[in-house]
Structure 1
Amino acid sequence: MLVLEYKVKAKKLQYLAIEEAIKTTQFIRNKCLRYWMDAPREAKIDRFALNKYSTELRNEFKFVANLNSMAVQSSAERAWLAISRFYDNCKKKVSGKKGYPRFQHDNRSVEYKTSGWVLNATKRRITITDKKGIGELKLLGKWDIQTYAVKSIKRVRLVRRADGYYCQFCIDVEVSDIQPETGNEIGLDVGIESFYTDSNGHQEANPKFLRKTEKAIKNAQRRIYKKVRKSSGRKKARGIFARKHLRISRQRTEHAKKIACRVVKSNDLIAYENLQVCNLLKNHCLAKSIADVSWGLFRIPRAFRLRQHLT
């Protein structure tokens, strides 16, 4: 599965319509979750039962009926995903909390399947065809989606971020990157002082994206509480604060991808520690530094399995 993301350019009313669709998605998910919680023990609540209940919601609430039927089903599937994850953790007897499903209060996306949208012939505009009033959206980006057939697009998501709205296309294609064998083998030891140290003695510097901008982030956070609650100034200050964190997140992701691809392409065998990062984050003295170095992003299983699969 390949995900291509474009930034969306639209009018103010269209942004409000997207926000309404996102809130409707959250409403359906929470209602399905409440339906599962209130069901008697002898009742069997599965994915099909939640899909059926989402159809009842469309008949009961007009604003739910205005959302595309497949988008409504996708919202119910989000609830089932949380429920099934909880069941799996209970069956596996995972230590600690099992991840009991919670009601969502900060949903940021709405997902359409194979209907509810039409891609323009130039594939630089997309029209959302449900009754929410979103309409035609302009897509900004450098991805070459023209090379993929429309039938291969299985999901379309509208996502809200701190710097605007984005449209994601989930394309069902097989991606392969065959690299020549190098005959090299390497072992990696991740750390905080250096990003990683390999068996050849090379140390990759830790960029410390959060530490470098921590002072500016704290200043931006203080400005939020200096504004009057629910005022436009406070909303603007929160936006500035959120965009700073979004920038750090993107820097971490791009840095981890670049380093991981370089290591994978230059070695046939890679050995690294199977660290449980979530457990290491419980160390309150080092939690911020561990999160900043982003070991989890760097140790992407797909990246390190690629070379093993090819050799």
Structure 2
Amino acid sequence: MLVIEYKIQAKPKQYQAIEEAIKTTQFVRNKCLRYWMDTSKEDKINGFALNKYPTTLRNEFKLVADLNSMAVQAAAERAWLSIQRFFESCKKKVVGKKGYPRFQKDNRSVEYKTSGWKLHNTKRIITITDKKGIGELKLLGKWDIQTYKVKSIKRVRLFRRADGYYCQFAINVESSDIQPLTGNQIGLDVGLESFYTDSNGHQEPNPRFFRKAEKSVKHAQRLIYKKVKGSTSRKTARSRYARKHLRISRQRNEHAKRLARNLNKSNDLVAYENLQVRNLLKNHCLAKSISDVSWSIFRHWIEYFASKFGRQAVAVAPQYTSQQCSNCGVIVKKSLSTRTHICSCGCSLHRDENAAINILAKARMGHIQSNANGLATSTLSGENLIEQVARMKLESPSL
């Protein structure tokens, strides 16, 4: 599944109509969730029964009847997905909160399936055909949706961001670009001092996008509370503050995407740490820096491009990769403040380079043992699941 995104250009009334459709989606989702909660434990409904409930809502509420029927059904599916996620957490016995479904307060999107919309012949104008009054929307962007058949478009999503409204097309096509083998393999050790250090000794600088913009972001945040609640100036200040965070988010994403693409193009195997970032964020001294470096986004793009280019992406357990000597295998204990690995065997390396070499060595062992069929997948070394196929198909344009 490939997702293509355009920015929307429309009139103020059309933007208001999109907002009404978004609020209706939130209303339907919350109603379906309440319907599930009110049923007794003995009569708990399943996903099929929950998908029937929007028909009752359409007969009862005019705002639901004005929205396309498939868009209403998609809103009910969102409620069921949150319920399923809760059930899966309970079955897996996740430690702590299980993520019990909660009511949505700030929905930002409405999703249409195969009806409720129509593309113009030029493929640069989309018309929303339900009774919300959205009408024709001009699509701004450089993507060539003309190359895909209309029948292959399975979902159309309208959503709001801090800098305007966007339209996404989910297209049912396989995005692959198999690259010739290079014979190179690389191990990556991510960190805060540098974005990553590879097994060849190269250190990629940490851009620290939020740290550089933090002063400006805090100033914009303070301006919000100097305005009167509910006033137009306060809304303007909030919008300015949100756009600053949106810019930082895009910078992180594009930076991670560029590096991941280059790494997968120049190496047949990319090994990286299987970090649990959620647990690392519990360290309040480093949480801001860990969030700023965006390890999870980087990993997702590595797995995506590995699948696209026909490469191998191997996740390695991070235990003892920094402590173990990459030359002789002896454990050399050191604190986080110790940045140089010095072993009695004479090996002297930067601790991150030493860790990257160990990560690559572990990945090679796990890859040889587990990947018997030679598929280009993302493999989690040391786990019972032999092949963990990463299916991240969202390749957003540079905005």
Q: Is the 8 A contact 1:68 1:112 kept in 2?
A: yes
Question: TM-score normalized by structure 1?
Answer: 0.98
Matches within 5 A, 1:233-244: 233-244=233-244
Alpha-carbon distance in structure 2 between the residues aligned to 1:35 and 1:297 = 35
The answer to whether the aligner puts 1:207 opposite 2:207 as a matched pair is yes
CA contact under 8 A between 2:6 and 2:139: conserved in structure 1?
yes
Asked whether the equivalents of residues 17 and 134 of structure 2 are also in contact (C-alpha less than 8 Å), the reply is: yes
**How far apart are 1:297 and its partner, in Å?**
0.5
Equivalent residue, structure 1, for 2:285? 285
Task: Give the aligned partner of residue 303 of structure 1.
Answer: 305
Alpha-carbon separation, structure 2, partners of 1:281 and 1:303: 26
* Residue 51 of structure 2: aligned partner: 51
- Quote how far apart the aligned CAs of 1:249 are: 0.4
The C-alpha deviation readout for 1:236-293, integer Å capped at 9, x for no partner, is: 0000000000000000000000000111111111111100001101110000000000
* Unpaired runs of at least 5, structure 1: none
CA displacement, residues 113-132 of structure 1 (integer Å, 9 cap, x when unaligned)? 00000000100000000000
The Cα shift of 1:302 comes to 2.5
Q: Indicate conservation of the 8 Å contact 1:264/1:307, yes or no.
A: yes
Between the aligned partners of 1:11 and 1:187, the Cα distance in structure 2 is: 51
Secondary structure (helix, strand or coil) at the match of 1:226 reads coil
2:306–2:376 contact (8 Å) kept in structure 1: no
Size of the alignment, in residue pairs? 311
* Cα distance in structure 1, aligned partners of 2:376 and 2:237: 49
CA distance in 2 between counterparts of 1:268 and 1:85 reads: 35
Would you say the 8 A contact 1:25–1:72 is kept in 2? yes
Q: Is contact 1:156-1:169 (8 Å) kept?
A: yes
In structure 2, the gaps of 5 or more residues are 313-374, 378-399
2:79 maps to 1:79:
yes
Matches within 5 A, 1:140-159: 140-159=140-159
CA RMSD of aligned residues (A): 1.0
Asked which structure has the greater CA Rg, the reply is: 2
Percent identity between the two aligned chains: 76
Q: What is the identity, as a one-letter code, of the residue corresponding to 1:176?
A: S
- Contact 1:194/1:203 (8 A) holds in 2: yes
1:29-53 deviation line (CA, Å, top 9, x unaligned): 0000011111011113111111111
CA-to-aligned-CA distance 1:23-76 (integer Å, 9 cap, x gap):
000000000001111101111311111111111000000010000000000000
* Bigger helix fraction: 1
Report what 2:6 is aligned to: 6
Contact 2:68/2:130 (8 A) holds in 1 = yes
Aligned-pair CA distance for 1:202? 0.2
Are residue 105 (structure 1) and residue 85 (structure 2) matched?
no
TM-score (norm 2): 0.77
The CA distance in 2 between the partners of 1:170 and 1:49, in whole Å, is 26
Question: Given residue 167 of structure 2, which amino acid in structure 1 is its aligned partner?
Answer: C
State the secondary structure of the residue aligned to 1:6: strand
Q: Is the 8 A contact 1:178 1:310 kept in 2?
A: no
